[in-house]
Structure 1
Amino acid sequence: MTVFNSDPFTNMLVHGAFEVIDAGPTQQSVQDLKLKRDSDHKLLMTTKSEGHAASFKNKYPVGTLRELTESVQLRHINGFEIILNAVNPYSRTSTDRGGKEWLTVKSTVQSVSAILKEDVTGTYTVDWLENVHDNVFMWPDPVEKQTASKHVDAIGDGEKKIEISNQVRSVSGGRSAVFVQLGKIEFYLVWIESEKQKVQPGYILYLSDVTGRERKKIRNCLSFALGRPLLSTGFSIFDSDWQLVSFESISPYTLNDQAFRMTTLPTTFLDETTENVIDRNRLTSLVAALYEHYEKYDFEHLIWQYWHAVCAPAHIAPVHFGGCIEALLTAYAKIPDSMVNHTLLTKESWRPISQRMVNVLDEFEIPADVREILHNKITSGLNQSPTSKVNEKVFTLLGLNMSQAEKKVWKQRNKAAHGTAPDYSDTVKIIRDIKVLKVLFHRIILRLIGVEFYIDYCAIGHPRKNIQEPSGTEIK
């Protein structure tokens, strides 16, 4: 079966092509099932059967916190099973048609998957995406689409029958892809033109069978490099003849739809001279650097945290960006060769001092529970270097000069977390401070992975600056 589209199930779940083996949490003898995506790209299932909504037995009281594990199982006429996972009914309605009562159940579905060929090894893997292209970049590699059709007019019958053939072939396309190679992993990132969507969907076409863990890693690196989150809606695996081996379609996490509203803001130019052009070599170099340091600095957590910071409301965003920066600095400080001291004094110097303090503590009558707390503070916590000192040391080691604007915003980043309200009369300052922290995070990541330049979104014209040159120098 050749099915090259983001949701193969649309070609499979047609009337008469499957049967319901297990209706799962719908509790129905299903006679009709439809699966589609809503306007938010979430998977929704509608099932119909004879019955009444009152016959449904709710196993979970209102307010129950639980993990969605229930599924619906289908069997296709070609013999393979289709599994709908994490099915959650949210609506049940009854209608009367011709004297019969029909029950309609609507459910959210987290994913739908199937293995069509059990013993076949995949040759190509396609990661289906949303939120790929919003007309910001010019892409380097071409994509060509060829369409061929044949029309035959048959006139008469028997020996006098005449057939007139007319073949029509059209070719269209443009530059809407970029090729990237990371070691042995080769792939194309492609965007697909869609008139229905403002932000174009797309896919990553891997020229091999790539694990889900690696695909997520590459997707995160590409997202950060391009300056907008690429949202996975599933994957398909094909054999060498482009026959579908297996697939999974999922309901994507869209950051409450904020992902589609983001402005594309890459951290550094993806071309030598032009801001809105993707140079294949530059993108590959940036993605490869992020990929190489991914586990070292826990980029999976950091990039997840970063996109939530981008979407956060203005009054609390500085806390989120501050958390991103602190998490990154902490990850760097934990590296053995980072030369960051986490204590004020060496263990050798601190040992006799702490022992004397403990001895003094023993001279006083103190409740046992309080004594234990004080003892632990003396022996383990008192010599710990404050986070602010550790962060200052990291900035120094990285050679990152900070402007007065950066220093000021950095010191004030956690005010909102402690309940301090911003000055709402100065909206410009609130937004500017967020930009300063965001660009500071960009600078630190780029410095750690060896990139020499960054885009300063705090300055007029968004100039390209050397990584050691501070941002916000134009801010008074």
Structure 2
Amino acid sequence: MEKPMLFWEWERLESYVENNFFQISDPGKLLSPIRSVRVWRDQNLRIVMETKSAEHPMTAREQEYPPGTVRVNDDVVHFTSPGGGVAHAFGVDIRKSKTNTNHQHGKHETVQTCSLHHFESNTSYKGAVAYTFDWIANVERRHYFWPDGVQESTQEISTRTLGYGTDPVTFTATSSEDSGSRNCLDINVGGFRIILGSSKLATELDNTKPGYILYIGDPDEETRKRIRDSLSFALGFPIIYLGYAKHREDFKLLSLKAINGYSMDGRAFNVPVMPPAPICVPPGSNMLDKGKVETVANSFFANYSNYSLSSLNWIYWHAVTAPVHMAAAYFGAAIEKIQKKYIEGQGKNFNNLIIPKQKYNTLKRSIFAAIKECDLSIEDKKTFEEKINGGNVVSLKVRSQRFFDHIGLDMGSAELTAWQRRNDAAHGNELADGDYISLIRDTKLLKLILHRIVLKITGASALYIDYYSLNFPERELTRGVSE
């Protein structure tokens, strides 16, 4: 007999709906009355709902939305349970309807299978939230030696009663099983104590590398996303968010939410674990140093609203999982976005001009005078004047060089060469035949440039890991990579 999953192990969406005897109180667009309902997460981390009804679907029905319609799916199905719990399925989309009819017995059943955007529920319990679990996937338990332990203790009480009547004989025996392992990380991020860990499931979902983040307290959703993104950057792998569960001090469940997991079509599970800064001791080992992880994560967290870091997690992991010929463009776009935000924040402290403004105004007047003497249409003259008005801005290449100088990062010769690769990818320039090795190496350098920028402007580390050179040495952040 398979052991039931305990509430601290992982999400229990299907058993929660089943064990609390949820029934649909408002079916929305589904066929009703509904005899039974099932909600679960499939192996692709999508939420699925299946309902069974005795009703016949309409045979001739106009399409609700014409093909090609772009819309936000706001269709909802509501649930209630005998214990006082309520639940709601949002973004209900009927994917399949299957009918079974037994003409001999006059029975009919229609099974409707739906995809959901997310599922939320509140139980009948009230009170303050003491513990919040974020259910996540892609926690690679084997890459790191985790610094903190998990102790498991299971007790089983067995009884046997012999005899009948008023004086039976009852025997009782107690057995226990204790175990322990190191598979979690207990640190403070953003003012909250959090424990990141991995779970071992006896289901087909175990290959999604299930895990959790336990927050002591009740941080809001925005704060928890900020913490997840900070941990993801520090540890070097994309964390896939699946929802949450909130519990009281006595561990009673107050509420839960399950959402579709986004794994970039499964590519997230194949990303090599590569932290941008040294977070293990001794160097070159996989033994996590709690202090180093905490420093990098908190630095990212503190600067989350600056330099477009709030959107970096999305851009960065799509760059990591992109086809090699396009990854350079994605990394380059992320670098430019951060540069732009940083330069905007510096204001007059950053020189973005080719020559001083006063000198350019003198030059501009001379150019305008020359244009007037040319035999040009009014429209052409206007076009030239608009270009000249904005012509005192340095090129992207020069601005990047000034940016690196401004934040104190030396660009090695190899990195300067790689920067051109970003332009080739962005503009679709043809790749010379046989140049794929250079393409891969230059893309690695662009990734390193991005790492160095983020580590520098957030103050997360004085060192970075050079994934371009053999044996991945640790280098001073100010020093670039040279051939």
Same fold (TM over 0.5): yes
- Any idea what SS the aligned residue of 1:263 has? coil
**How far, CA to CA, are the matches of 1:384 and 1:427 in structure 2?**
34
Aligned residue type for 1:77: P
**How far, CA to CA, are the matches of 2:372 and 2:440 in structure 1?**
53
Report if the CA contact (8 A) 1:435-1:457 is conserved: yes
Query: Hey, what does 2:436 align to over in structure 1?
Result: 427
Report if the CA contact (8 A) 2:234-2:276 is conserved: yes
Paired residues for 1:170-189 under 5 Å: 170-182=177-189, 184-189=191-196
Aligned residue type for 2:201: S
Report if the CA contact (8 A) 1:25-1:88 is conserved: no
After superposition, give the CA deviation of every residue in 1:172-213 in whole Å (9 maximum; x if it has no partner).
121111111135311111111236534521111111110000
- Any idea what SS the aligned residue of 2:79 has? strand
Report how far residue 371 of structure 1 moved: 4.4
Q: How has the CA–CA distance of structure 1 residues 12 and 191 changed in structure 2, closer, same or farther, with 3 Å as cutoff?
A: closer
Aligned residue type for 1:457: Y
Q: How has the CA–CA distance of structure 1 residues 6 and 372 changed in structure 2, closer, same or farther, with 3 Å as cutoff?
A: farther
Report how far residue 27 of structure 1 moved: 4.1
After superposition, give the CA deviation of every residue in 1:73-118 in whole Å (9 maximum; x if it has no partner).
1111112220011111111222223433322211111110012257
Report if the CA contact (8 A) 1:91-1:106 is conserved: yes
Query: Hey, what does 1:227 align to over in structure 2?
Result: 236
After superposition, give the CA deviation of every residue in 1:6-41 in whole Å (9 maximum; x if it has no partner).
434323322881221222233443222111111111
2:455 to 446, 454, 459: 446
Paired residues for 1:233-244 under 5 Å: 233-244=242-253
Report how far residue 374 of structure 1 moved: 3.3
Using structure 1 for the length normalisation, give the TM-score: 0.92
Paired residues for 1:187-198 under 5 Å: 187-194=194-201, 196=204, 197-198=206-207
2:111 to 86, 104, 115: 104
Report how far residue 342 of structure 1 moved: 1.9
Query: Hey, what does 2:405 align to over in structure 1?
Result: 396
Paired residues for 1:126-141 under 5 Å: 126-141=133-148
Query: Hey, what does 1:461 align to over in structure 2?
Result: 471
Query: Hey, what does 1:156 align to over in structure 2?
Result: 163
CA RMSD, Structure 1 to Structure 2 (Å): 2.3
Query: Hey, what does 1:38 align to over in structure 2?
Result: 42
Q: How has the CA–CA distance of structure 1 residues 374 and 28 changed in structure 2, closer, same or farther, with 3 Å as cutoff?
A: farther
**How far, CA to CA, are the matches of 1:9 and 1:163 in structure 2?**
38
1:343 to 349, 353, 362: 353
1:284 aligns with 2:288: no
Query: Hey, what does 2:16 align to over in structure 1?
Result: 12
**How far, CA to CA, are the matches of 1:431 and 1:34 in structure 2?**
47
After superposition, give the CA deviation of every residue in 1:207-233 in whole Å (9 maximum; x if it has no partner).
111000000001001001111011111
Report how far residue 338 of structure 1 moved: 8.3
**How far, CA to CA, are the matches of 2:381 and 2:109 in structure 1?**
71
Report if the CA contact (8 A) 2:130-2:249 is conserved: yes
Report how far residue 433 of structure 1 moved: 1.9
1:68 aligns with 2:77: no
**How far, CA to CA, are the matches of 1:190 and 1:412 in structure 2?**
38
2:326 to 316, 335, 339: 316
Query: Hey, what does 2:223 align to over in structure 1?
Result: 214
**How far, CA to CA, are the matches of 1:303 and 1:12 in structure 2?**
32
Report if the CA contact (8 A) 2:21-2:82 is conserved: yes
- Any idea what SS the aligned residue of 1:160 has? coil
Report how far residue 364 of structure 1 moved: 6.0
1:306 to 316, 320, 327: 316
Q: How has the CA–CA distance of structure 1 residues 83 and 316 changed in structure 2, closer, same or farther, with 3 Å as cutoff?
A: same
Q: How has the CA–CA distance of structure 1 residues 431 and 208 changed in structure 2, closer, same or farther, with 3 Å as cutoff?
A: same
Aligned residue type for 2:86: E
Aligned residue type for 1:96: T
Q: How many corresponding residue pairs?
A: 471
Report how far residue 427 of structure 1 moved: 3.2
**How far, CA to CA, are the matches of 1:119 and 1:258 in structure 2?**
40
1:386 aligns with 2:395: yes
Query: Hey, what does 1:408 align to over in structure 2?
Result: 417
1:293 to 274, 297, 303: 303
Using structure 2 for the length normalisation, give the TM-score: 0.91
Report if the CA contact (8 A) 1:74-1:81 is conserved: yes
**How far, CA to CA, are the matches of 1:453 and 1:79 in structure 2?**
55
Aligned residue type for 2:385: H
Answer with 271-280 or 77-86: which moved more: 271-280
After superposition, give the CA deviation of every residue in 1:234-283 in whole Å (9 maximum; x if it has no partner).
01111111111111011111111111111111112212314311111111
Query: Hey, what does 2:276 align to over in structure 1?
Result: 267
Q: How has the CA–CA distance of structure 1 residues 424 and 70 changed in structure 2, closer, same or farther, with 3 Å as cutoff?
A: farther
Aligned residue type for 2:291: N
* Unmatched 5+ stretches in structure 1: none
Query: Hey, what does 2:3 align to over in structure 1?
Result: none
Answer with 194-203 or 396-405: which moved more: 194-203
2:154 to 132, 138, 147: 147
Answer with 88-97 or 212-221: which moved more: 88-97
Q: How has the CA–CA distance of structure 1 residues 231 and 4 changed in structure 2, closer, same or farther, with 3 Å as cutoff?
A: same
Answer with 276-285 or 97-106: which moved more: 97-106
- Any idea what SS the aligned residue of 2:138 has? strand
**How far, CA to CA, are the matches of 1:15 and 1:167 in structure 2?**
27
1:49 aligns with 2:56: no
Aligned residue type for 2:119: V
Answer with 94-103 or 276-285: which moved more: 94-103
1:87 aligns with 2:97: no
Report how far residue 345 of structure 1 moved: 3.2
**How far, CA to CA, are the matches of 1:19 and 1:57 in structure 2?**
29
Report if the CA contact (8 A) 1:401-1:468 is conserved: yes
Report if the CA contact (8 A) 2:136-2:212 is conserved: yes
